[in-house]
A = this chain, B = another copy of it.
Amino acid sequence: MSKQELSIETVDGCCVPIMDAALDSTAAVEGATVFKALADPVRLRLMSIIASAGAEICVCDITPQFDVSGPTISHHLKVLREAGLVDCERRGTWVYYWPLPERLTWLSTLLSVPTPATT
């Protein structure tokens, strides 16, 4: 398993939505790195396939869903893993992936908009 994931301090908890407070430069660099991991159509679709699988998913079930090569898929999966969005484990021939919901929750909270109170 990769130990290269970003270590955004707030990843395990909640962060402050950008509607509530501006990011400082350090947080902006870290946040932008995670958004960059999702800023590619193949990676975003890969992320959604892993996130929606309901359980861990074998890379052998992922690759056939794309028109790009296996090594290209492996490269994109590595980017997602280094961004802390997924993790994986090799078992025998295949590697199995699962999402890291803490990171998704962190991003979702960052971009959340308060619901206006009804009067």
List the interface of chain A (C-beta within 8 A of B): 18-25, 28-29, 31-33, 35-36, 38-45, 47-49, 51-52, 99, 101, 104-105, 107-113
Contact = CB atoms under 8 A, between A and B. Distances in A.
A5 to B, nearest CB: 17
Contacts of A23: 44-45, 48
Given A108-B112, A108-B113, A22 B45 contact: yes
When all copies of this chain in the complex are counted, the total is: 2
A98 to B, nearest CB: 12
Contacts of A19: 51-52, 99, 101, 104
Nearest to A23: B48
Contact of A48 (B28, B38, B47, B48): B28
A41 B32 CA distance: 5
